[in-house]
Structure 1
């Protein structure tokens, strides 16, 4: 939601100058490896789920922001002018036209964010969060390759299911636009 609101803000008239700053902010977390982000967060937030939630939030910003930005700027100015001619207010144009036309792409950005988050969430077990990554860490610590494989396969399958479900949602909302 934060990334979407930020994309909406920088695409409004008079706020384009904020684009470079917004891009820098949402891209910052992506410049560090996930383990480094967790290592930086643990002294501030502590071990456990808190550090993982903040890291997931930070890593989830970029795909949603960039996809929303691309989708919102892709809406034809003539379509917006027609909506304005129909008497829609700025907020109504945003909700009824821009977001409605952008919805399938926005779902794609959310899908990318969720699948990326599954991988990042798995390494959260290294800082005390209870995730499927615990199986992988236990396997690595005990030298049990079967545990490592089991955890990796479960996370991979979950990522495929989530990705497939979100792709279906994207097709469904895209079909609703016709």
Structure 2
């Protein structure tokens, strides 16, 4: 096991311990709290909050992936090429409006809670997945696509059996970027009563308790690093299976 993998395993183990039994770390976090303040977040269960945070990110990323990949497939087909500018504009909406602005617009229609946060994360995650899918589908090896046409594959067969599998590592890179961005951005959902790790950070800021801020920030940060590394490893595995890793290295 390399040092990097050992550090990842150690970080994961510490994160699990913190979520399952946070009192074990009361001595450490007590260094960042005043004598009259609690060292461990006491307004909710850290494990439940973290699971809910991850659930919101997963749902938003899944929705972004379905829509973004679907749009990219359509505009790379002959019948949908003319919709590329419109699709790109739609994918850019989330980057044009900050998540806070989307939340402010969504709350009057959807109310407080998880729904506005899902909308904000969904819109914010569209662009990287759309652009990466577009890149993956438009930069396939011509020899492979020509061979698929030569053996009589239909357009649907080429898409499912050739194009998407070859483009999958690039698509996954977009999903990885979108997921990590959403993981951090989801914290602002607590400003509209969504149950995310942002509530731990906000509680620390409003009470001047640095220990709470540190707990929320560390959990989000460690989750982001671990998920990023896990998706990167999956991406490399897919590239290796399709022979793209060797071509990239060359």
Same fold by TM (over 0.5)? yes
- What's 1:138 paired with? 203
Instruction: Kindly report which structure 2 residues correspond to 1:114-153, keeping only aligned pairs within 5 A, or say none.
Output: 114-153=179-218
Please point out which of 137, 152, 161 is paired with 1:96.
Answer: 161
- What's 2:125 paired with? 60
Give the CA deviation at 1:100: 1.1
Deviations 1:117-161 (A, max 9, x none): 101111111110111111101011111122112211111111001
**What SS does the aligned partner of 2:137 have?**
helix
My pick for the range that moved more, 76-85 or 89-98, is 76-85
**Structure 1: 5+ residue runs without aligned partners?**
none
Q: Separation in 1 of the partners of 2:241 and 2:127?
A: 27
Give the CA deviation at 1:78: 3.5
Give the CA deviation at 1:39: 1.0
- On the 8 A contact 2:203/2:212 being kept in 1, the answer is yes
Q: Separation in 2 of the partners of 1:97 and 1:137?
A: 48
Please point out which of 105, 112, 126 is paired with 2:177.
Answer: 112
Report the count of equivalent residues: 178
Q: Separation in 1 of the partners of 2:214 and 2:100?
A: 20
**What SS does the aligned partner of 1:55 have?**
helix
Deviations 1:82-118 (A, max 9, x none): 1011111101101111111111111111101110110
Please state if 1:38 is matched with 2:103: yes
Q: TM-score scaled by structure 2?
A: 0.69
Deviations 1:61-84 (A, max 9, x none): 111100000111101333212101
Instruction: Kindly report which structure 2 residues correspond to 1:11-90, keeping only aligned pairs within 5 A, or say none.
Output: 11-90=76-155
Structure ID, larger Rg: 2
Q: Separation in 1 of the partners of 2:207 and 2:195?
A: 18
- What's 1:166 paired with? 231
**What SS does the aligned partner of 2:242 have?**
coil
User: What CA RMSD, in Å, does the superposition of the two structures yield over aligned residues?
Assistant: 1.0
Deviations 1:37-65 (A, max 9, x none): 11111111110011111111111111110
- What's 1:9 paired with? 74
Q: Separation in 2 of the partners of 1:24 and 1:145?
A: 41
- On the 8 A contact 2:201/2:214 being kept in 1, the answer is yes
